[in-house]
Each structure stands twice: as C-alpha cells, then as structure tokens.
Amino acid sequence: MDRADARDAGDVLVVGAGIVGVAIAERLRREGARVTLVDARPEVAGATSHANGGQLSFASAGTWSGAELASFFLRGLLRGQERSWRVSPGVVPGALLWACRPRPRADERLRALVRLSAQEFARFLAEDPGLHPLVEGYGVWALRVHGGGGGGAAGLPAPVRLERGEAVFHAGDAYGDCRRFAHALADRFRAGGGRLLLGVSVRALDVEPSGVRLETTGGVLRAGRAVVASGLGARGLLGPLGVRLPLFPVQGYSLTYPCPGPTPRFALLDEERKVVLTRLGDGLRVAGLLDFGCRDERPRPWMLHRLEAVARRWLPDLVAGSTPVDPWACVRAMAPGGVPYLGSVARGRVVCAVGHGHLGWTLAAGSARIVSDLLGERPPLLPLSDYAPPGSPRGARL
Ligand SMILES: Cc1cc2nc3c(=O)[nH]c(=O)nc-3n(C[C@H](O)[C@H](O)[C@H](O)COP(=O)(O)OP(=O)(O)OC[C@H]3O[C@@H](n4cnc5c(N)ncnc54)[C@H](O)[C@@H]3O)c2cc1C
C-alpha cells in the first residue's frame, strides 16, 4: 500500500474506491491527469461494490420513483412474512419525505445516463481487451409471477422452473462481478501511474484559492480538484461546503451458492421482489431486498432467509441441498428518483458523483465520462443540469 504522507495528491484526488470512484480515477488517468484515489477501507470495492447482484442493466434499468416504492411497499404489506422490505418505525417520516421529493423526468434522465454508460462500458473493454473475460454473460431474464396458468418462454436456462408467470429477455443487459472489475481497473490505474491510498479516511475537505485541501487519517493532502465518490459518506464531506445531499440509505443483502462447474451461465431478475440471481464465477449470487433507513451492514439472518426463499422459488433443483456462503449486507445511497448526482460544487473545485443507488455498477462508466468531461472542460454529452447536485449552479463548468 502506498503511504499517505506526501502532500501533493496531483491534479485530481478522488475520494472513494468503489466502482464509481475507480472508474472515474481510471478514466481521468487515461486522459493524462495525475490522479490519487483514496479509500477508508483496506481494499478496493470494499463497501457497496463488494458483493452486489452483478447485473449491468443497460436494457432493463428503471428508476425507483416514490410511486414505485410506495406500490412495492403496499404489496409487501399484503405479503406479510414474505415481504422483501423492512422499515423500522423511526425512519418512516424520513423515508416518506425522501420518497416524495420531486425529481422531474427522472426516468428520462436515468435512461440517458444508462445509454451513455453502455457506450462507455464498451469503450473500457475496447481500450483494454483484457477486461473482456470479466463480463461473464449477456442478457438478463426478467421474471414476473402471476396467478394464471404457466406462461414461460422458450430459451429459459434449464435450472429455472417457471410454473406461473412469464419471462422477458433483456438482450442488452450483461453481467459480471463488480468487485473483480473494480479490482482490475484499479490494477491498471496503479500500473499506469495512478496513486492508490487504501485505509486512509478523509475527515474534512476544504476549498482553497488554488485547489483543495483534505484532512485525512494519513495526513493532509492537496490537489487541484477533488471528486467525491464516497456514497453515503459524501454527506459528511460536502455538508460543511454548504451542499446538502438528500441521500437516503437503503440497505441490501446478498449471499452466494457454490455451483458445480457445468451449471449454465444465466442472470435472472425477480422484478416484484427486487432480487437478482446471477451466475458469477463459481457461484450463484442472490442479491437485493430493501431495508429502508438501515446502514449497519449487518447481514440479518431473516433477510437472508428471504433471499433463500426467492432462490428456492426459481431454482429449486439448483439450490436444493446447497448451503449459501458469504452472507453480506451493504447500503445503497439512494438519490431521489434513483438518478445520481453528478456535477460540480464549491466554486467548481469539487465534483460530486454519488447517489447511484441500485444501479452503480451499471452507471459507473457513464458517470466517469461525465465527470472527466466536466474536469476536462469539454462539452457535456448530457445536459449537466439534469444531474446537478442541489444548490450547485445549474450546469456549472469548472
Ligand atoms: C444487494 C445489492 C445488490 C446490488 N445489485 C446491483 C446490480 O446488480 N447492478 C447494479 O448496477 N448495481 C447494483 N447494486 C448497486 C451498486 O452496488 C452500488 O450502486 C454501487 O456499488 C455504488 O458504488 P459507489 O462506488 O458509489 O459506492 P461504494 O462502492 O460504496 O464506494 C464508496 C467508497 O467510499 C469510501 N468512503 C466513504 N467515505 C469515505 C471517506 N470519508 N474517506 C475515504 N473513503 C471513504 C467507502 O469506504 C467506499 O469504499 C446493488 C447494491 C446492493 C446493496
């Protein structure tokens, strides 16, 4: 690990080495900037990018609008013990306020960013064919249960048992292990001269006339500009600069079933329960659920049991007799409407890239392009005002 005692952190210092921060740092490095990437955790992708569902939802991505969440919530009430969400009474007012916060044209804004992300993800692969094997498959089956007779679809992978419902194939989606991809990008970042500081927490961020000053657990760092890609942690860093980000924590859970070699590759999405089932590496990742307001990263057994129930529903033969491993919980930093904040604040010295919620793996490459264009003072590919953090000058350029 590099040491955090040097004071000059280069042209840009990126806070947060999750998939979003790593993609930004590597994109900036490829464009010739001197970049330092800092994370409080001891490894890259140690937080929400660690064991997520692995789906690149370039075709199937949708917003989690207040209305959608409300209907999901109500359906869960009817389902009782089987419901896919949890909310503790103390957070209900905050959750309601957040869910009702308007974000006009959220769907359109999200789709534009998803399209850009698909292009930019392909660009990462085209620039570096060694990344190709990390995309483990293409196409996601969205499964919908209904009360009628068997629907189904020819072409469903053999382990999926679809007795009541239908399946829609999203050919434009892909899947791969987000953590492994982040590690691969970080390796390239370091090999190309980028500086990676792990186990270094940023305590405070100040804007000075000539750049930014960061107080960290490893000493003071100075850089020309800072990018804050630290998920929920961004609120504490940007609050003192007058930026109040309305991010809401929604914890999710995952577990992984070991799979024998010949198990086919496939990816499923149970839209109604907000759970994905993805063949990754030598396992089956089952991930999702919504724990509103929770951020303690504790893999609660009864939430994990709900994931197991979804796995048994769709893949009874595959998971029968198999014990899941690697229980995991982590918090999604949700922005209103599910559209992340990407834009400059604090007199243009700081760029914010947070609020990727349930889609950070999908949106990382496009977010990196927006941030790099912003810092490089190139014309934006998407209207910056559509992603501007609250309180920032609309569409502000550096
Ligand atoms: C159960 C689950 C399943 C999911 N499935 C999918 C999926 O299938 N497809 C998809 O696209 N998305 C999925 N997501 C969402 C996706 O995982 C997140 O949107 C994404 O990981 C967010 O990446 P990030 O880089 O913004 O945040 P993170 O990965 O959380 O990274 C932020 C980093 O900032 C660091 N940090 C915070 N504060 C500081 C500080 N003060 N100083 C230094 N470092 C700091 C943290 O240590 C952390 O490493 C899922 C999420 C969950 C919870």
Instruction: Pick the closest to residue 364 from 119, 172, 41, 108 (CA basis).
Output: 119
**Is pLDDT at 394 greater than 60 in this prediction?**
no
- Compute the residue count for the chain: 398
Q: Does ligand 1 come within 6 angstroms of the Cβ of 340?
A: no
Q: Which of 72-86, 120-134, 285-299 has the lowest mean pLDDT?
A: 72-86
Q: Is the pTM of this model over 0.85?
A: yes
> Rounded mean pLDDT of the chain?
90
DSSP letters of 293-361?
Answer: T--S----HHHHHHHHHHHHHH-HHHHTT---EEEEEEEEEEPGGGPPEEEEETTTTEEEEE-BGGGHH
pLDDT (tens digit per residue) in 153-175? 667 777 777 766 788 899 999 99
The pLDDT score that the predictor gives to residue 395 is 40
pLDDT at 243 exceeding the cut of 90? yes
Q: How far apart are CA 25 and CA 368, in angstroms?
A: 8
Q: Which carries the bigger pLDDT value, residue 391 or residue 41?
A: 41
Is residue 362 lining ligand 1, measured as CB closer than 6 Å? yes
392 falls in which pLDDT band (50, 70, 90)? low
Distance 358 CA to ligand 1 centre (A): 9
Q: What is the pLDDT at residue 1?
A: 40
Residue 136 is predicted with a pLDDT of 97
252 lines ligand 1 (CB under 6 A): yes
6: confidence class by pLDDT, cuts 50, 70, 90: very low
| 99 confidence band (pLDDT: 50, 70, 90) | confident
pLDDT in tens, 191-204: 999 999 999 999 99
d(CA 363, CA 368): 9
Summarised one tens digit per residue, pLDDT across range 178-193 is 999 999 999 999 999 9
Q: What is the rounded CA–CA span in Å between residue 228 and residue 238?
A: 8
Q: Decide whether any atom of ligand 1 lies within 6 Å of the 355 Cβ.
A: no
Closest ligand 1 atom, CA of 201? 42
C-alpha to C-alpha distance for 200 and 180, rounded to whole angstroms? 21
Given this model, what pLDDT does residue 85 score? Answer: 86
Cβ(338) to ligand 1 under 6 A? no
Cα atoms in the Cβ-side hemisphere of radius 13 Å centred on 13: 31
Report whether residue 358 contacts ligand 1, using a CB cutoff of 6 Å.
yes
Mutate to test the pocket of ligand 1, among 36, 39, 48 (most ligand atoms within 8 A of CB): 48
Cα separation, 206 vs 311, in Å, equals 47
Asked if 299 and 328 touch (Cβ cutoff 8 Å), the reply is yes
The DSSP letter of residue 87 is E
Average pLDDT for 28-32: 97
Atom 21 of ligand 1, nearest CA residue: 49
- Tell the residue nearest (CA) to atom 15 of ligand 1: 358
Residue ranges and CATH numbers for the domains of the chain are 12-49+180-246+337-386 (3.50.50.60), 66-102+137-175+248-334 (3.30.9.10)
**From ligand 1's centre to the CA of 51, what distance in Å?**
10
